[in-house]
Structure 1
Amino acid sequence: MSQAPRDIEQLIDLMARLPGLGPRSARRAVLMLLKKRGAVMAPLARVMAEVAENARDCRFCGNISSAEICEICSDERRATGEICVVEDVADLWAMERGHAFKGRYHVLGGTLSALDAVGPEELRIPVLLDRVREENVTEVILALNATVDGQTTAHYIAEVLENTGVQVTSLAQGVPIGGELDYLDDGTIGAALRARRRF
Protein backbone atom coordinates (compact mmCIF):
# COMPACT_ATOMS: atom_id res chain seq x y z
CA MET A 1 0.00 0.00 0.00
CA SER A 2 1.25 3.50 -0.93
CA GLN A 3 2.42 5.90 1.78
CA ALA A 4 1.13 8.94 -0.16
CA PRO A 5 -2.47 10.19 -0.05
CA ARG A 6 -4.56 9.24 -3.08
CA ASP A 7 -4.52 12.71 -4.74
CA ILE A 8 -0.73 12.99 -4.42
CA GLU A 9 -0.33 9.44 -5.75
CA GLN A 10 -2.50 10.44 -8.72
CA LEU A 11 -0.24 13.46 -9.35
CA ILE A 12 2.82 11.20 -9.23
CA ASP A 13 1.18 8.80 -11.72
CA LEU A 14 0.39 11.68 -14.11
CA MET A 15 3.91 13.12 -13.81
CA ALA A 16 5.40 9.67 -14.52
CA ARG A 17 3.72 9.75 -17.95
CA LEU A 18 5.89 12.69 -19.03
CA PRO A 19 8.88 11.95 -21.29
CA GLY A 20 12.05 11.34 -19.31
CA LEU A 21 10.25 10.80 -16.00
CA GLY A 22 9.67 7.39 -14.50
CA PRO A 23 7.85 6.66 -11.23
CA ARG A 24 10.87 7.48 -9.03
CA SER A 25 11.72 10.73 -10.82
CA ALA A 26 8.05 11.73 -10.75
CA ARG A 27 7.88 11.04 -7.01
CA ARG A 28 10.98 13.22 -6.40
CA ALA A 29 9.55 16.00 -8.58
CA VAL A 30 6.21 15.95 -6.75
CA LEU A 31 7.91 16.00 -3.33
CA MET A 32 10.00 19.01 -4.43
CA LEU A 33 6.84 20.76 -5.69
CA LEU A 34 5.09 20.09 -2.38
CA LYS A 35 8.02 21.56 -0.45
CA LYS A 36 7.91 24.70 -2.61
CA ARG A 37 4.15 25.04 -2.96
CA GLY A 38 4.03 28.82 -2.91
CA ALA A 39 7.15 29.52 -4.96
CA VAL A 40 6.87 26.78 -7.61
CA MET A 41 3.79 24.58 -7.43
CA ALA A 42 1.07 27.27 -7.31
CA PRO A 43 2.55 29.35 -10.19
CA LEU A 44 3.14 26.14 -12.20
CA ALA A 45 -0.47 25.04 -11.70
CA ARG A 46 -1.71 28.51 -12.69
CA VAL A 47 0.39 28.64 -15.88
CA MET A 48 -0.52 25.05 -16.80
CA ALA A 49 -4.23 25.90 -16.47
CA GLU A 50 -3.76 28.99 -18.69
CA VAL A 51 -1.87 27.01 -21.34
CA ALA A 52 -4.48 24.23 -21.26
CA GLU A 53 -7.19 26.86 -21.79
CA ASN A 54 -5.48 28.99 -24.46
CA ALA A 55 -3.04 26.83 -26.46
CA ARG A 56 -4.16 25.87 -29.95
CA ASP A 57 -2.68 24.83 -33.28
CA CYS A 58 -2.01 27.61 -35.80
CA ARG A 59 -4.55 27.10 -38.57
CA PHE A 60 -1.89 27.62 -41.25
CA CYS A 61 1.29 25.90 -40.12
CA GLY A 62 0.30 23.76 -37.11
CA ASN A 63 2.63 25.52 -34.64
CA ILE A 64 1.36 25.90 -31.07
CA SER A 65 0.04 29.37 -30.38
CA SER A 66 -2.38 31.21 -28.13
CA ALA A 67 -3.97 32.81 -31.21
CA GLU A 68 -5.64 31.35 -34.29
CA ILE A 69 -2.59 32.34 -36.36
CA CYS A 70 0.89 32.04 -34.81
CA GLU A 71 3.44 34.87 -34.70
CA ILE A 72 5.53 33.31 -37.48
CA CYS A 73 2.63 33.03 -39.94
CA SER A 74 1.35 36.52 -39.10
CA ASP A 75 4.78 38.10 -39.66
CA GLU A 76 4.70 39.55 -43.19
CA ARG A 77 8.52 39.68 -43.30
CA ARG A 78 8.49 35.87 -43.33
CA ALA A 79 6.39 35.63 -46.50
CA THR A 80 9.45 34.69 -48.54
CA GLY A 81 7.87 31.91 -50.61
CA GLU A 82 9.79 29.28 -48.63
CA ILE A 83 8.00 26.67 -46.50
CA CYS A 84 10.06 24.47 -44.21
CA VAL A 85 8.30 21.15 -43.54
CA VAL A 86 8.95 19.58 -40.13
CA GLU A 87 7.60 16.52 -38.33
CA ASP A 88 6.41 18.18 -35.13
CA VAL A 89 6.45 21.43 -33.15
CA ALA A 90 9.66 20.48 -31.29
CA ASP A 91 11.43 20.41 -34.68
CA LEU A 92 10.01 23.82 -35.61
CA TRP A 93 11.28 25.25 -32.33
CA ALA A 94 14.69 23.64 -32.95
CA MET A 95 14.87 25.29 -36.39
CA GLU A 96 13.91 28.65 -34.90
CA ARG A 97 16.68 28.40 -32.28
CA GLY A 98 19.20 28.43 -35.12
CA HIS A 99 17.91 31.83 -36.40
CA ALA A 100 18.88 30.74 -39.94
CA PHE A 101 15.46 30.32 -41.58
CA LYS A 102 13.41 33.41 -42.41
CA GLY A 103 10.43 31.79 -44.16
CA ARG A 104 7.39 29.96 -42.83
CA TYR A 105 6.84 26.43 -41.55
CA HIS A 106 4.51 23.50 -41.97
CA VAL A 107 4.15 20.96 -39.15
CA LEU A 108 3.07 17.52 -40.41
CA GLY A 109 2.17 16.10 -37.01
CA GLY A 110 4.17 12.90 -37.56
CA THR A 111 5.52 10.76 -40.37
CA LEU A 112 4.07 8.18 -42.73
CA SER A 113 4.10 4.71 -41.23
CA ALA A 114 2.47 1.65 -42.78
CA LEU A 115 3.03 -0.29 -39.56
CA ASP A 116 1.08 2.25 -37.50
CA ALA A 117 -1.52 2.87 -40.26
CA VAL A 118 -0.46 6.51 -40.63
CA GLY A 119 -1.14 7.71 -44.16
CA PRO A 120 -1.11 11.18 -45.80
CA GLU A 121 -4.64 11.93 -44.59
CA GLU A 122 -3.63 11.35 -40.94
CA LEU A 123 -0.87 13.94 -41.36
CA ARG A 124 -1.14 17.52 -42.56
CA ILE A 125 0.07 16.66 -46.08
CA PRO A 126 -3.21 17.68 -47.83
CA VAL A 127 -3.02 21.03 -46.00
CA LEU A 128 0.57 21.45 -47.26
CA LEU A 129 -0.60 20.86 -50.85
CA ASP A 130 -3.34 23.48 -50.38
CA ARG A 131 -0.78 25.97 -49.07
CA VAL A 132 1.51 25.33 -52.06
CA ARG A 133 -1.42 26.03 -54.41
CA GLU A 134 -2.80 29.06 -52.56
CA GLU A 135 0.33 30.83 -51.27
CA ASN A 136 3.12 32.13 -53.46
CA VAL A 137 5.41 29.18 -52.62
CA THR A 138 8.63 28.83 -54.62
CA GLU A 139 10.50 26.33 -52.42
CA VAL A 140 9.53 23.56 -50.01
CA ILE A 141 12.38 22.58 -47.67
CA LEU A 142 12.03 19.08 -46.25
CA ALA A 143 13.52 19.27 -42.75
CA LEU A 144 12.38 15.84 -41.63
CA ASN A 145 14.27 13.59 -39.26
CA ALA A 146 16.86 11.32 -40.89
CA THR A 147 14.96 8.17 -39.88
CA VAL A 148 13.37 5.57 -42.16
CA ASP A 149 9.88 7.00 -41.61
CA GLY A 150 11.16 10.58 -41.99
CA GLN A 151 12.84 9.82 -45.30
CA THR A 152 9.83 7.83 -46.55
CA THR A 153 7.66 10.86 -45.80
CA ALA A 154 10.13 13.19 -47.53
CA HIS A 155 10.12 11.03 -50.68
CA TYR A 156 6.33 10.94 -50.70
CA ILE A 157 6.06 14.75 -50.40
CA ALA A 158 8.70 15.23 -53.12
CA GLU A 159 6.66 12.96 -55.42
CA VAL A 160 3.35 14.74 -54.88
CA LEU A 161 5.03 18.13 -55.45
CA GLU A 162 6.91 16.96 -58.54
CA ASN A 163 4.68 18.64 -61.14
CA THR A 164 3.84 21.81 -59.22
CA GLY A 165 6.85 23.82 -60.38
CA VAL A 166 7.92 24.29 -56.75
CA GLN A 167 11.54 23.54 -55.94
CA VAL A 168 11.83 20.76 -53.33
CA THR A 169 15.01 20.72 -51.24
CA SER A 170 16.15 18.91 -48.11
CA LEU A 171 18.60 19.66 -45.34
CA ALA A 172 22.17 18.70 -46.19
CA GLN A 173 25.34 18.45 -44.11
CA GLY A 174 25.22 18.42 -40.37
CA VAL A 175 22.20 16.18 -39.84
CA PRO A 176 23.42 12.67 -39.02
CA ILE A 177 21.62 9.55 -40.26
CA GLY A 178 19.22 8.47 -37.55
CA GLY A 179 19.46 11.92 -35.92
CA GLU A 180 16.54 14.02 -34.73
CA LEU A 181 16.41 17.80 -35.06
CA ASP A 182 15.41 18.45 -31.47
CA TYR A 183 18.75 16.99 -30.24
CA LEU A 184 21.04 19.00 -32.59
CA ASP A 185 22.87 22.16 -31.61
CA ASP A 186 21.98 25.53 -33.16
CA GLY A 187 25.15 25.77 -35.29
CA THR A 188 24.57 22.34 -36.84
CA ILE A 189 20.98 23.22 -37.74
CA GLY A 190 22.08 26.55 -39.25
CA ALA A 191 24.83 24.88 -41.34
CA ALA A 192 22.45 22.17 -42.54
CA LEU A 193 19.86 24.73 -43.58
CA ARG A 194 22.36 26.88 -45.49
CA ALA A 195 23.76 23.81 -47.31
CA ARG A 196 20.40 22.39 -48.36
CA ARG A 197 20.19 20.68 -51.75
CA ARG A 198 17.57 19.59 -54.25
CA PHE A 199 15.73 16.50 -53.00
Structure 2
Amino acid sequence: MSDVGHHVREPREFFNDLYHRFLLSPKPSMKAMCLQAMAIVYGRCHEEIGPFNDTAFMVRKLEECENRTERDRLLQFIDKLLHNRHNVKLFLDTNGVRVLVDLVTLAHLHTQRAYVPLQTSSLEASPDQQRDTEKEWYYGNKDKERDGPYSFGEMKELWKESTIHQKTRCWAQVTWEKGKSKCWSS
Protein backbone atom coordinates (compact mmCIF):
# COMPACT_ATOMS: atom_id res chain seq x y z
CA MET A 1 0.00 0.00 0.00
CA SER A 2 1.57 3.22 -1.11
CA ASP A 3 -1.16 5.67 -0.11
CA VAL A 4 0.01 7.74 2.84
CA GLY A 5 -2.72 8.01 5.48
CA HIS A 6 -4.63 5.03 4.08
CA HIS A 7 -2.73 2.23 5.73
CA VAL A 8 -4.66 -0.66 7.27
CA ARG A 9 -2.64 -2.33 10.03
CA GLU A 10 -4.21 -5.79 9.81
CA PRO A 11 -5.81 -5.88 6.36
CA ARG A 12 -6.78 -9.58 6.48
CA GLU A 13 -8.49 -9.19 9.86
CA PHE A 14 -10.19 -5.94 8.84
CA PHE A 15 -11.34 -7.49 5.54
CA ASN A 16 -12.75 -10.54 7.35
CA ASP A 17 -14.60 -8.29 9.79
CA LEU A 18 -16.16 -6.41 6.88
CA TYR A 19 -17.13 -9.68 5.22
CA HIS A 20 -18.78 -10.98 8.39
CA ARG A 21 -20.68 -7.71 8.73
CA PHE A 22 -21.81 -8.08 5.11
CA LEU A 23 -23.05 -11.62 5.77
CA LEU A 24 -24.89 -10.75 8.97
CA SER A 25 -26.52 -7.49 7.94
CA PRO A 26 -30.17 -7.69 6.85
CA LYS A 27 -30.10 -4.14 5.39
CA PRO A 28 -29.18 -3.77 1.70
CA SER A 29 -27.64 -0.34 2.38
CA MET A 30 -25.29 -1.82 5.00
CA LYS A 31 -24.43 -4.73 2.70
CA ALA A 32 -23.59 -2.22 -0.05
CA MET A 33 -21.34 -0.20 2.28
CA CYS A 34 -19.54 -3.35 3.41
CA LEU A 35 -19.02 -4.44 -0.20
CA GLN A 36 -17.66 -1.03 -1.10
CA ALA A 37 -15.23 -1.11 1.82
CA MET A 38 -14.24 -4.70 1.00
CA ALA A 39 -13.51 -3.68 -2.59
CA ILE A 40 -11.28 -0.82 -1.43
CA VAL A 41 -9.41 -2.92 1.12
CA TYR A 42 -8.98 -5.90 -1.20
CA GLY A 43 -7.95 -3.65 -4.08
CA ARG A 44 -5.17 -2.14 -1.99
CA CYS A 45 -4.18 -5.17 0.08
CA HIS A 46 -4.99 -8.21 -2.08
CA GLU A 47 -1.49 -9.61 -1.71
CA GLU A 48 -1.61 -9.50 2.10
CA ILE A 49 -5.20 -10.80 2.25
CA GLY A 50 -4.62 -13.59 -0.26
CA PRO A 51 -7.27 -15.71 -2.03
CA PHE A 52 -10.93 -15.19 -1.21
CA ASN A 53 -12.44 -18.67 -1.06
CA ASP A 54 -16.03 -17.38 -1.18
CA THR A 55 -15.65 -15.94 -4.69
CA ALA A 56 -18.20 -18.46 -6.00
CA PHE A 57 -20.67 -17.32 -3.33
CA MET A 58 -20.24 -13.70 -4.42
CA VAL A 59 -20.90 -14.64 -8.04
CA ARG A 60 -24.13 -16.35 -6.97
CA LYS A 61 -25.07 -13.28 -4.91
CA LEU A 62 -24.52 -11.12 -8.00
CA GLU A 63 -26.68 -13.43 -10.10
CA GLU A 64 -29.54 -13.30 -7.56
CA CYS A 65 -29.20 -9.65 -6.54
CA GLU A 66 -32.26 -7.43 -6.96
CA ASN A 67 -30.97 -4.30 -5.24
CA ARG A 68 -29.29 -1.92 -7.71
CA THR A 69 -26.77 -0.44 -5.27
CA GLU A 70 -25.81 -3.80 -3.83
CA ARG A 71 -25.43 -5.20 -7.35
CA ASP A 72 -23.13 -2.35 -8.36
CA ARG A 73 -21.02 -2.85 -5.24
CA LEU A 74 -20.84 -6.59 -5.92
CA LEU A 75 -19.51 -5.80 -9.40
CA GLN A 76 -16.87 -3.47 -7.92
CA PHE A 77 -15.88 -6.07 -5.35
CA ILE A 78 -15.65 -8.90 -7.89
CA ASP A 79 -13.50 -6.65 -10.06
CA LYS A 80 -11.02 -6.33 -7.18
CA LEU A 81 -11.20 -10.05 -6.39
CA LEU A 82 -9.91 -10.78 -9.86
CA HIS A 83 -6.53 -9.32 -8.89
CA ASN A 84 -5.78 -12.75 -7.41
CA ARG A 85 -5.24 -15.74 -9.75
CA HIS A 86 -6.93 -18.19 -7.37
CA ASN A 87 -10.04 -15.99 -7.33
CA VAL A 88 -10.02 -15.83 -11.13
CA LYS A 89 -10.16 -19.63 -11.28
CA LEU A 90 -13.05 -19.70 -8.80
CA PHE A 91 -14.83 -17.00 -10.79
CA LEU A 92 -14.47 -18.94 -14.05
CA ASP A 93 -15.45 -22.25 -12.43
CA THR A 94 -18.76 -20.77 -11.23
CA ASN A 95 -19.72 -19.33 -14.64
CA GLY A 96 -18.93 -15.78 -13.59
CA VAL A 97 -18.45 -14.75 -17.20
CA ARG A 98 -22.00 -15.88 -18.03
CA VAL A 99 -23.36 -13.81 -15.14
CA LEU A 100 -21.49 -10.75 -16.40
CA VAL A 101 -22.72 -11.33 -19.95
CA ASP A 102 -26.28 -11.46 -18.62
CA LEU A 103 -25.70 -8.02 -17.11
CA VAL A 104 -24.09 -6.65 -20.27
CA THR A 105 -27.12 -7.60 -22.35
CA LEU A 106 -29.09 -4.85 -20.65
CA ALA A 107 -26.44 -2.14 -20.89
CA HIS A 108 -27.65 -0.88 -24.26
CA LEU A 109 -31.00 0.06 -22.73
CA HIS A 110 -29.61 2.73 -20.46
CA THR A 111 -27.51 5.81 -20.93
CA GLN A 112 -25.78 5.80 -17.54
CA ARG A 113 -25.98 2.41 -15.86
CA ALA A 114 -28.17 -0.62 -16.13
CA TYR A 115 -31.06 -0.44 -13.68
CA VAL A 116 -31.57 -4.15 -13.20
CA PRO A 117 -29.50 -7.32 -13.62
CA LEU A 118 -32.10 -9.71 -15.01
CA GLN A 119 -34.50 -9.66 -17.92
CA THR A 120 -37.47 -10.16 -15.58
CA SER A 121 -36.65 -7.04 -13.64
CA SER A 122 -35.93 -5.04 -16.78
CA LEU A 123 -39.48 -5.57 -17.91
CA GLU A 124 -40.63 -3.96 -14.69
CA ALA A 125 -38.32 -0.93 -15.05
CA SER A 126 -39.72 2.57 -14.95
CA PRO A 127 -40.89 4.17 -18.24
CA ASP A 128 -38.08 6.74 -18.29
CA GLN A 129 -35.55 3.91 -18.52
CA GLN A 130 -37.13 2.14 -21.47
CA ARG A 131 -36.65 2.37 -25.19
CA ASP A 132 -40.12 1.58 -26.48
CA THR A 133 -39.74 2.40 -30.17
CA GLU A 134 -37.12 0.02 -31.55
CA LYS A 135 -38.24 -3.51 -32.29
CA GLU A 136 -35.12 -5.40 -31.27
CA TRP A 137 -36.33 -7.93 -28.68
CA TYR A 138 -36.99 -11.64 -29.23
CA TYR A 139 -37.99 -14.52 -27.02
CA GLY A 140 -38.07 -18.32 -27.24
CA ASN A 141 -35.43 -20.83 -28.23
CA LYS A 142 -32.91 -19.17 -30.57
CA ASP A 143 -32.36 -22.36 -32.55
CA LYS A 144 -35.85 -23.76 -33.12
CA GLU A 145 -38.45 -21.27 -32.02
CA ARG A 146 -38.05 -17.52 -32.10
CA ASP A 147 -40.75 -14.92 -31.69
CA GLY A 148 -40.18 -11.27 -32.46
CA PRO A 149 -39.01 -8.67 -33.00
CA TYR A 150 -40.82 -6.69 -30.33
CA SER A 151 -40.28 -3.27 -28.82
CA PHE A 152 -39.39 -3.04 -25.18
CA GLY A 153 -42.92 -1.83 -24.42
CA GLU A 154 -44.38 -4.85 -26.20
CA MET A 155 -42.09 -7.14 -24.21
CA LYS A 156 -43.37 -5.51 -21.04
CA GLU A 157 -46.93 -6.28 -22.11
CA LEU A 158 -45.98 -9.90 -22.83
CA TRP A 159 -44.58 -10.06 -19.30
CA LYS A 160 -47.78 -8.66 -17.80
CA GLU A 161 -49.84 -11.19 -19.79
CA SER A 162 -47.51 -13.99 -18.55
CA THR A 163 -46.66 -14.93 -22.14
CA ILE A 164 -43.03 -14.60 -21.09
CA HIS A 165 -41.84 -15.28 -17.57
CA GLN A 166 -38.70 -15.56 -15.46
CA LYS A 167 -37.42 -18.67 -17.27
CA THR A 168 -38.13 -17.44 -20.83
CA ARG A 169 -35.03 -16.81 -22.93
CA CYS A 170 -35.06 -13.23 -24.18
CA TRP A 171 -32.51 -11.37 -26.26
CA ALA A 172 -32.08 -8.17 -28.22
CA GLN A 173 -30.74 -7.66 -31.71
CA VAL A 174 -28.38 -4.70 -31.53
CA THR A 175 -26.85 -3.00 -34.57
CA TRP A 176 -23.22 -2.07 -34.04
CA GLU A 177 -22.05 -1.11 -37.51
CA LYS A 178 -23.88 -0.30 -40.69
CA GLY A 179 -25.12 -3.56 -42.11
CA LYS A 180 -23.77 -5.71 -39.28
CA SER A 181 -25.56 -6.78 -36.15
CA LYS A 182 -24.88 -8.81 -33.06
CA CYS A 183 -27.29 -10.79 -30.96
CA TRP A 184 -26.99 -10.46 -27.21
CA SER A 185 -28.63 -13.29 -25.35
CA SER A 186 -29.72 -13.50 -21.75
| Range class of TM-score, shorter chain | under 0.3
In the superposition, the TM-score normalised over structure 1's length comes to: 0.25
In the superposition, the TM-score normalised over structure 2's length comes to: 0.27
Higher helix share goes to which structure? 2
